[in-house]
Each structure stands twice: as C-alpha cells, then as structure tokens.
Homo-oligomer: A and B are copies of this chain.
Amino acid sequence: MAENYSQWYNDLVLKADLAEQSPVRGCMVIKPYGFAIWEKMQGALDGMFKETGVQNAYFPLFIPKSFFSREAEHVAGFAKECAVVTHHRLMNDPEGNGIIVDPEAKLEEELIVRPTSETIIWSTYKNWIKSWRDLPILCNQWCNVVRWEMRTRLFLRTSEFLWQEGHTAHATAQEAEEETERMVHVYARFARDHMAMPVIVGRKSPNERFAGALDTLTIEAMMQDGKALQAGTSHFLGQNFAKSFDVKYTDQEGNLQYVWATSWGVSTRLMGALVMAHGDEHGLVLPPKLAPIQVIMVPIFKTDAEHAAILDKMAELKKAIEAEGHTVKIDDRDALRPGFKFAEWELKGVPVRLAIGPRDLKNGTVEVHRRDTLEKQTVALEGIEKSIAALLDDIQKTIYQKAFDFRESRVEKCDDWDEFKEKIQTGKFLLCHWDGTPETEQKIKDETKATIRCIPIDSFVCEEPGKDIYSGKPSDRRVVFAISY
C-alpha cells in the first residue's frame, strides 16, 4: 500500500469482489458484493433527495445528434468521448463471414449514448413548463451513462458508469442557485454521515466547470495518498439550456421568461472513494452504514457436537442482533479454517466479527473483533446485541475521525512557490493565493500537475487577502490546490 498505492487499489477492488474489468473496453462488471454497497449508497441518497422534494423519473438513453449539438460549450465538452449509434440491425454476411452490420439499416440521424442528460431533459421540459405554476420541477434519474475513456480504472474512470443526475427548473436565478447549493450540501452530508468521509465544499474555477454551466460546486475528498478526488458536483446552469431548447414560462405578471436550471450528480466513482478513503493493508474498511454485512460470525470447533451447539447459539444471537436493525451473517462454510475466514472478512471490510468457540460457550462469552482498529476483546454474551449497536456507532465515528485527522495533517497554507512544488508532490492539499486567472492556473498545472480543486465555501481560514503563489498578483482569498484523480 505504501509502495504502490495505485496497485493496492486495483488489487483490493478485485480481491474484495467489488468489481472487475469486462471484455468490453473500459466497461466494468460490478460484482454482487460491490453492488450491495452501491445499493446502500443509492438508498441513503435517494431518501435525502426525496426529503428535499425531488422525484425520480426516467429519460431516454439515446440523444439525437442535433439535440446534443445545440448548446455549444456542452457539445464541445462531450463530443470527443461518446458512443455513437449509427445502425439498427445486424445481418448474415452474404459472403459468409458471419454476422455483420446491415448497411441498409443506417439511421437517418445518429444517436449518442447519453454522457449526461441535460439536452434530452430540457427538450422534454419544454413541454412540461408553461406557467410559473409549473415550477419548480425537481427530477432525478438513476441510470447508466457512457463517456468513452482511453485509460480506465475500476470505479474511478470507466467508459460506462452508474450515477444519478438531478435536473431542476426554476423561475428565478436565486432559486436555482439555492438549489445548486442545497444539493452540494446533501452530497457533503452523505459523504460525512454515511461514507464517513470528510469533504471540502467549494466552487470550481472556470477552467474546471461543467461544460455548459455558469457555476460548478463540488465536494473534494482526500484519499490516503494525499491526492484529491472529486466526489460529486452540482451545477448552476443559468438559462443556457432553456435558451438552447426555448423553454420559457409565463410569470405572475404575464411576462414570458426563460427558465433557470441546475444539474447535479454522483456516480459509482464514490465506490472508489470509499475504498481509498478507509482501506488498509488488510483490505476494505467499510463504515457500518454502508456495509452489506455489518456483523460476521465465525464458529470455532473441533467436534460435531461443539459445532452444533455453537451454531445454535449463533442463530439465537443473530436473531437478537437483527432485531436491533443490523445485518448479520453466519459463515458456516465447511472446508475452510477460521483463520482463512477471518482474513476474508477483514479483506471485505465487515465492521464487526464475532467468534465463538467451545470455551466461549462454556463461559457465556464471545470474542468481538472490530475491523477499523483490529482490536479484539472477549465479552459476555448476555445483552451483547445492545453493545453491538453501540460498537457499530463507535466504528462509524472512529472511521470518520481517522479520515478527518489524516486530512487535517495534510492540509496547510503555502505562500512560497518552491515550497509549493515540493510539498504538492508529497500528497497535500495546499491552501494558496491565486490571482483568479485561468492562465496562472494552467501554468501551475503544467509545471506541477496540481489543479485548483475548489474555492472553499464558508472556510474562514481561506478568507484573507494575499499574493498569488505563482504570479505574485493580488488575491483576496486562498483556494485549494492538489493533485487529483
């Protein structure tokens, strides 16, 4: 892990049965264990969206090329990495070379597999919006998207990925801006409370904005190699898409106005963030709130009689813990030794392991092992279901605190260019002054690979005037520089 973080990540995703490369270039298979974690993420996020009044809907996978092209910056941002459907039929090769594309079945207009759905959704909203009474519209969809990628990494960058994309329509700029902020804070809260992952909430510099947005808000997390990972974004789209698709509403005074838009999304990339934020030499470390199995039980025995007695006790215990709302599994696979099972469930990041042997049975005890700290202790079986609940809470908090402390130890102010160049390579978030120009940002990137991850919102430590770390020009606040995934 210390030697080659990237290799550690790839190996862990495979070994922990989260995902694997498919035979289709750049597309992954999400395996059942990985998908169960994603389902937990979806469930929590979906509930948080709905609490803000968002409803789910579904829009087409395909976008006609002409729609895709209507917003100029948008198409420029996505045209180089998209999958294009040109035909709708296969046929037997008349020359006997197997199955070929039927040249007769060429589409009149090519279809783009959605890389994001602003264009198809705004062409639909045109029919949904007539009056101020139709606003706001708050829709989200959970779906797959495709962005052709040459270099892919499981979860972090794949040609197809799963995500949710929210698309909202508002009567005023202010409402849309408020929605943009509301949703980035939903993401930050989700990262903190469910993923146990602290994030910095901020604004992207113009260079790093979403194609077609006036403003992009982001949550940025630090991975254990000190690199930044953009974990979710929320965009204020102004009236760009409303103008491209001619979406107007009649306001309360009877005037026609263009509608204001936001969009916001998180993806299966969060799975990569989860692995990299908490994993260790032994494997995954899952926060209890996202763990498909929260408690694993391993029986330890020599005789059949011991085996049977321990399994009986475990079944009873399982019921009691489940009644407290936790997920429990008994690992009763034969032909595998307890040590092997211990290692496997550590690899898979199960927060709590309970082992019961013949002596425990006699003494009315159980061995409790927590994955995050690897601490073990023997405790009384009586009433253990209550202490398990408290332990899971504690693990959730401890994992967060560890990630928080790690990040704090690697965030610092930097006002010297030579120091910057050196420190940024060691995996740090550097809080530096920036003159606000894309040119300076680009030069810093060219020399160090570091980018402005965000201009933090609500961070008092950044709000002080100074001089740009590179150009020396005046700056009225610090921004976060880091090397990113």
Contact = CB atoms under 8 A, between A and B. Distances in A.
Interface of A: 20, 22-24, 27-32, 35-36, 38-39, 55-65, 67-69, 75, 79-91, 98-99, 101, 110-113, 120, 123-124, 127, 139, 143-144, 146, 148, 160, 162
A332 to B, nearest CB: 14
Contacts of A162: 58
A67 B23 CA distance: 10
A61 B124 contact: no
A101 B111 CA distance: 10
A9 to B, nearest CB: 20
Given A24-B62, A35-B58, 19 more contacts: A22-B60, A24-B111, A27-B60, A27-B61, A29-B57, A30-B57, A32-B55, A35-B55, A35-B57, A58-B162, A62-B160, A65-B101, A69-B98, A79-B89, A79-B90, A79-B91, A80-B89, A84-B87, A84-B89
B88 A148 contact: yes
Contact of A27 (B62, B148, B160): B62
Contacts of A20: 124, 127
Nearest to A32: B55
A58 B112 CA distance: 22
Contacts of A56: 32, 35-36, 39
Contacts of A160: 60-62
Contacts of A110: 101
B112 A90 contact: yes
Contact of A82 (B60, B86, B89): B89
B24 A63 contact: yes
Given A36-B55, A58-B29, A90 B85 contact: no
A110 B27 CA distance: 15
- Name the residue in A56, A62, A160 with the highest tally of chain B Cβ atoms < 10 Å from its Cβ: A62
A174 to B, nearest CB: 23
A82 B91 contact: no
Nearest to A59: B29
B99 A88 contact: no
A81 B89 contact: yes
A399 to B, nearest CB: 25
A172 B29 CA distance: 26
A296 B178 CA distance: 30
A81 B89 CA distance: 6
Contacts of A123: 23
Contacts of A88: 81-84, 148
A54 B62 CA distance: 30
B84 A29 contact: no
A471 to B, nearest CB: 33
Nearest to A86: B86
Contact of A99 (B32, B65, B101): B65
Nearest to A30: B58
A120 B28 CA distance: 11
Nearest to A82: B90
A68 to B, nearest CB: 7
A61 B75 CA distance: 22
B124 A22 contact: yes
Contacts of A84: 85-90, 101
Given A24-B63, A62-B27, A64-B24, A32 B82 contact: no
Contacts of A36: 55-56
A8 B376 CA distance: 67
A65 B90 contact: yes
21 contacts: A22-B59, A22-B124, A24-B62, A29-B59, A29-B124, A30-B57, A30-B58, A61-B144, A75-B90, A79-B89, A79-B99, A80-B90, A82-B89, A84-B85, A84-B87, A84-B88, A84-B101, A85-B113, A86-B86, A86-B87, A90-B112
A98 B81 CA distance: 17
